[in-house]
């Protein structure tokens, strides 16, 4: 076959192939794409998002929804991406769900004013505010972080936002630390074990891959987060409560560690279509036993609590439809 003929044949084959593909796509309605913003890849939000998408995508032949859950900068980034219409849904700490709706506490929320269209779907696991320090750092209590090399985590993460809330309560600024790093949560375990920082922070569900990595790759331990400033935050804000990181869960921390925490929640916007929201919520709760098995932090979840606790924004209409069908409302 001449070269010219070969090219002509190749083009003809490609055209037939393309026509066939277009034919099958045209026969089906275009899928609805849903994106769920998560957090760093070693956190629990990423597992929540991936798990939900897996359940949604299993049912794609019924509802034609395709779900993706990319890694993101965390709670505040997710809420702002939803507000801008760049993401449909996302994971967010209950404190930042509250402040987004009111337009308070976080500079980006204050600048934009109340996010009136924020809607809640459900809460998931509890997230204790977690501090891990190198064993050789001399850090035994939360107050010992002063003057040390601390990763405050990337701006836009819920962890960073909540750390700034604590810092304001304690009268600390970035200058209170020898180093105030801004590494992403997925980078901090290695930085800790490379001795680039003395302590890392993560408001995260347990067990967490990130805390496992930090406590197994080098000698480090989980530090209590207690004291007058923390007591005041718990007393003043419904979304915070005392929390415990169980002893024995991580190497170097055999006893229970007391801290405070809030709930991980999933949020969306009133602008997102009710049918889409209905199918995402249905995928989770129709397959709830399967969902619970996807991460140990989900083991004790109870649907009736999940649709109440930690939710300050109104529930989305599509979620309400499903919860009513189930007789939960
Ligand atoms: N609560 C964390 C944040 O918004 C994320 C936790 C996770 O990735 O599991 O910064």
- pLDDT tens by residue, 225-283: 999 999 999 999 999 999 999 999 999 999 999 999 999 999 999 999 999 999 999 99
CA of 75 to the centre of ligand 1 (A): 6
**Residue nearest ligand 1's atom 6 by CA:** 204
Which DSSP letter does residue 176 get? G
Tokens of 190: 């290695």
Specify the pTM. Answer: 0.91
75 lines ligand 1 (CB under 6 A): yes
Q: Rounded distance, CA 84 to CA 81, Å?
A: 5
> Which ranges of the chain does DSSP label H, i.e. alpha helix?
3-27, 45-58, 60-63, 75-83, 94-102, 107-112, 158-170, 185-193, 209-217, 228-236, 274-286, 288-292, 303-306, 317-325
Does ligand 1 lie within 6 Å of residue 127's CB atom?
yes
What is the 313 CA–ligand 1 centroid distance (Å)? 19
Instruction: Give residue 29's pLDDT band: very low, low, confident or very high (50, 70, 90).
Output: confident
Reference 280, options 119, 97, 71, 86; nearest CA is 119
- Topology of the domain comprising 127-262: D-Maltodextrin-Binding Protein; domain 2 (3.40.190)
Tell me if 29-126+263-325 shares its fold with 127-262.
yes
Task: Look at residue 19 in the predicted model and tell me its pLDDT.
Answer: 46
Find the helix or strand (DSSP H, E) in which 222 lies. Answer: strand 220-223
282 Cβ neighbours under 8 A, 6+ residues apart:
322
Cβ atoms of residues 210 and 189 within 8 Å: yes
Cβ-Cβ contacts under 8 Å for 53 (sequence gap 6 or more): 34, 36, 67, 68, 69
Whether residue 96 contacts residue 163, with contact meaning beta carbons closer than 8 Å, is answered with no
Task: Ligand 1 pocket test: pick from 97, 203, 205 the residue with the most ligand atoms within 8 Å of its Cβ.
Answer: 203
What CATH topology corresponds to 29-126+263-325?
A: D-Maltodextrin-Binding Protein; domain 2 (3.40.190)
Residues 207-216: b if buried by 16+ CB within 10 A, e if exposed: bbbbbbbbbe
Q: What is the pLDDT of residues 124-145, one digit of tens each?
A: 999 999 999 999 999 999 999 9
Q: What is the mean pLDDT of residues 176-200?
A: 98
43 lines ligand 1 (CB under 6 A): yes
Residue closest by Cα to atom 3 of ligand 1: 158
Q: Which pair of structure tokens corresponds to residue 14?
A: 């490609």
Check if 157 has its Cβ closer than 6 Å to any atom of ligand 1: yes
How many angstroms does the Cα of residue 39 sit away from the middle of ligand 1?
5
State the distance from the centre of ligand 1 to the C-alpha of 159, rounded, in angstroms: 6
d(CA 53, ligand 1 centre) in Å:
18
The whole-chain average pLDDT of the chain stands at 93
- Strands 199-203 and 149-151, how do they pair? parallel
Query: Residue 17 — very low, low, confident or very high, per pLDDT cuts 50/70/90?
Result: very low
Q: Are 133 and 221 in contact (CB under 8 A)?
A: yes
Residue 203 beta carbon below 6 angstroms from any ligand 1 atom: yes
Counting ligand 1 atoms within 8 A of each CB, the residue from 36, 37, 40 with the most, and so the one to mutate, is: 40
What atom of ligand 1 comes closest to residue 205's alpha carbon?
9
Choice from 154, 159, 267 to test ligand 1 binding pocket (greatest atom count within 8 A of CB) = 159
Residue 44 CB–ligand 1 contact under 6 Å: yes
- Domain boundaries of the chain, sorted by first residue: 29-126+263-325, 127-262
14 pLDDT exceeds 70?
no
pLDDT tier for residue 201 given thresholds of 50, 70 and 90: very high
- Return the residue matching tokens 């929640």: 265
């Amino acid at each position: 076959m001449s070269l010219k003929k070969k090219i002509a044949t190749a083009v003809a084959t490609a055209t037939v192939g393309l026509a066939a593909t277009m034919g099958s796509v045209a026969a089906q309605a275009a899928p609805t794409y849903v994106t769920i913003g998560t957090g760093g890849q070693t956190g629990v939000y990423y597992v929540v998002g991936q798990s939900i998408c897996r359940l949604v995508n299993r049912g794609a032949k019924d509802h034609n929804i395709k779900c993706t859950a990319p890694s993101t900068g965390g709670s505040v980034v997710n809420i702002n991406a939803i507000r801008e219409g760049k993401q449909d849904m996302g994971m967010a700490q209950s404190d930042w769900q509250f402040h987004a709706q009111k337009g308070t506490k976080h500079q980006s929320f204050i600048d934009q004013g109340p996010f009136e269209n924020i809607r809640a779907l459900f809460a998931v696991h509890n997230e204790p505010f977690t501090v891990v320090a190198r064993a050789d750092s001399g850090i035994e209590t939360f107050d010992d972080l002063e003057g040390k090399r601390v990763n405050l985590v990337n701006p836009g993460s819920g962890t960073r936002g909540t750390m700034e809330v604590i810092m304001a309560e304690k009268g600390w600024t970035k200058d209170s630390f020898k180093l105030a790093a801004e590494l992403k949560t997925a980078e901090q375990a290695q930085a800790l074990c490379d001795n680039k920082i003395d302590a890392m922070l993560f408001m995260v569900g347990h067990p967490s891959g990130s805390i496992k990595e930090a406590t197994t790759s080098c000698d480090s331990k989980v530090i209590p987060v207690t004291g007058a400033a923390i007591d005041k935050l718990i007393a003043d804000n419904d979304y915070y409560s005392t929390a415990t990181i169980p002893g024995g869960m991580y190497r170097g921390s055999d006893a229970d560690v007391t801290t405070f925490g809030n709930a991980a929640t999933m949020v969306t916007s009133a602008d997102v279509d009710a049918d889409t929201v209905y199918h995402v919520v249905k995928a989770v709760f129709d397959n709830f036993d399967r969902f619970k098995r996807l991460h140990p932090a989900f083991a004790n979840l109870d649907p009736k609590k999940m649709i109440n606790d930690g939710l300050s924004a109104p529930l989305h209409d599509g979620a309400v439809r499903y919860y009513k069908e189930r007789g939960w409302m």
